[in-house]
Structure 1
Amino acid sequence: MDVDAELSSPATQDDLPADVLRRLLRHPGARRSAALLRKDLTDEVIEEIITLGSTRSLAANGSLPARVRVRFVEDPDPVVRCAVAASIGDEPPGMLARLAEDPDPSVRAFLTMNDRLPPELLARLAAAPESSVRSRVIERWRDVPDSVRRMLLTDTDPEIRCASAQAFPPPADLLPGLLADPETRAAAVAYAVPTPELAADPDSDVREAVAAHPDLTTGLRDLLAEDPDMFVRNAIAARADTPAELRERLVAGLEPDSPLAEWVLSFRRGTHTCPPPAAVRPPLTREQSEALLARAGL
């Protein structure tokens, strides 16, 4: 491992001596790691990090005192406001509402990630004029009020409608329209009765959704087992109620054209293998820290 990469590890070490930390702050990578992750930054060190140019990383550190983080809400750089928006609390009251009205849509998009955001502000963001903000609400918010769910499922942006149909169970009265909409039909299949018409849909995503439906009939299962699309056949192979002989035949006939496609197929069947986690490096001693700093010229 090169020295630059090695410096980021001790920068977050709990028992790091203060003088070693101050020397590490002179290295950009180590400084960003310390700014983002350390929970013991003093006012003096915070000011030094800001002066050295790592305000964005510092703004994303949820362990800083509220009095410090409020400064970042007023920062002229929207990237800094994005960083603080994702985790700041409403202290003093009104901070979250202020961010919800930020002129930069990226700040409001990051605000949707904030677990402290009250439902009324999330509802306001769900009606944002920018689809980038509305889409982030869909990603973050599942227990939406019916009025917000309906609004998003009938959005004018097809990508928003599609994401909403994938995220939210649709009200029964909206289901026919979602099934008729090419953008939402595949996602809406999960809430419909599987039919021969859906199983023969020209969109392979719709047929794949039918293949995964819990109420799929044996006849439709056998029909989709012969589908020309390998992802549809793979969905049949992934079913718990597919006979072992049929499953083995389907898996043997899959011909993914890349390692990624092969992994996606195996993931659907639950037979994939994840890489082992990276080993946790032991904390450095004072002597090891000094040696590393010397190698880096710090």
Structure 2
Amino acid sequence: MTDQQADQSTEQSTDQSTEQSTEQQFEPLTVTYEHLRHSADAAELSEFARRDLPDRADQAAFSRATALLEAVGGNPNTPVEDRVFLAQTMPFPNVLVKLAQDPDPAVRKAVAGNADDKNWLVGRLTKDPVPEVRDTALRNKKTSWKMRLEGAQNPEVDAATLAFLATLGTEIEEGAPAVLSSMVRRAVALNPNTTDETLNKLADDPSAEVRHAVAKRRSS
């Protein structure tokens, strides 16, 4: 056998070993995932939820751990406090998507306030039927301006959240797009749930459109 043939034989052997290793790792992951997805053992599920993640440098172990957290987060037998913990701390969309559909509003509220949310995910939660979840999502910096505007126009949004939206582009997020933030503050001024205190602030708004909206609201 020549040296070249020997090298090719070694490469083929290595490739086969890698494929076999990958197959061996995949099956246990699938089995463990399905086990955790259907487990009724609260203690076991809690332990997985609180387990430290592997170092990101170990990509295979890290990916496996986040996949298993998806199963744990989507299992209603996982204790609520552990689902809330995951919803507050996880930056992984696959885990947060599961938790955003949780039947317990406390879990969805925790997702809504997670600063690592994707804007499309927190945007969904601005439409949540539970006011606390919806209002928390509207306060999240990841919420799009479109969702903020729709929230400011929604007559079911509470006064405290409207007061928050009324500060966008002025007191907070001062570098925000002037036109978009002005549209949100104008919508707040026209919302029937906006308090007199918030209207008084908006009456001195730097945007003429917002000031005109306050005047229109007060004259109606």
TM-score (ref. length: structure 1): 0.38
More helix by share: 2
